[in-house]
Structure 1
């Protein structure tokens, strides 16, 4: 097994594409192939010391899942299964996709939900990033004026995604080195 597990939740595919790009950049020796969270268990995540977790924010600040219109279960249904799990000693880096123009009042809120859920079970969250270059009103994906992970806006700033991803991978790289 590789050192890093990559798990994502999505129904449309952009978050999956980012997960596949992360895997490609890290390579098979460092990271296992990405897995959609609907096909994973808590034990699957616990098998890794380092996790990269991704999610889009749907609608008015919702996690992907059945009530947000997904065809399949996703983070909304997975997060409650964490109750009672122990992620102490696990390092997690988060990435989120959102639309800062169309949903500026809840931009990348899903990062906040993931952060809270995994922090509550003892995980160490790394990879916070600057809000510079983004224009939004509010976000649950913030801590002390930093995003809780990598933030990509494929709708309005797709041309910045590659450089933002590369910078973030450099930032979190010491977790598995």
Structure 2
């Protein structure tokens, strides 16, 4: 299997903790890229990506992603596969639940990437999410505040799904 670039900011504790768990589960074929320091030439070396993000405030990406994404604005990501994981709080932010996942996935699609790793919306309770399309999330959505007991199961199932998606 090709090396997977795992991209998340160390400044977001829960996202970074999950990134560490993903890296440990994935094994030696993963390399960490920090959106705070990565440049386009670093990014273009890889064909498979796992992107991590929380959702800030009322549906915003954290500064690390806001500052990095302009690096990619003219990039052609055709042929690259991207999976996104993110965190949200469905109780306190039900109208922007895990929007960061949808924002990243949509941006990558606009640049030609193929999004993999969609997950079911079943078991969540929220009003609206940019991360949802056609009744599915555009990646792995976790709510460690309100559903911490489901994190391990959801993460394990998603990683198995990605290993198949990234193999092809």
User: Which TM-score tier does this pair reach, normalised by the shorter chain?
Assistant: over 0.9
* Partner SS, residue 36 of structure 2: helix
Out of 42, 45, 61, the position equivalent to 2:43 is 45
**Which has the higher mean CA deviation after the structures are superposed, 3-12 or 134-143?**
3-12
**Residue in 2 aligned with 1:21?**
21
- TM-score, L = length of structure 2: 0.94
- TM-score, L = length of structure 1: 0.89
**Residue in 2 aligned with 1:132?**
122
- For residues 73 and 7 of structure 2, the distance between their equivalents in structure 1, rounded to whole angstroms, comes to 18
**Residue in 2 aligned with 1:90?**
80
- For residues 40 and 24 of structure 2, the distance between their equivalents in structure 1, rounded to whole angstroms, comes to 24
Asked if the contact 1:111–1:141 (Cα under 8 Å) also holds between the matched residues in 2, the reply is yes
* Partner SS, residue 94 of structure 1: strand
Structure 1 segments, 4+ long, off by >6 Å, are: none
Could you give the per-residue CA deviations for residues 33-91 of structure 1, whole angstroms, max 9, x where no partner exists? x33211211222211110000100001111101xxxxxxxx001111221110111100
**Residue in 2 aligned with 1:167?**
157
* Partner SS, residue 176 of structure 1: helix
Aligned residues: 166
Out of 147, 162, 167, the position equivalent to 1:157 is 147
- For residues 173 and 101 of structure 1, the distance between their equivalents in structure 2, rounded to whole angstroms, comes to 31
List gaps (5 residues or longer) in structure 1.
66-73
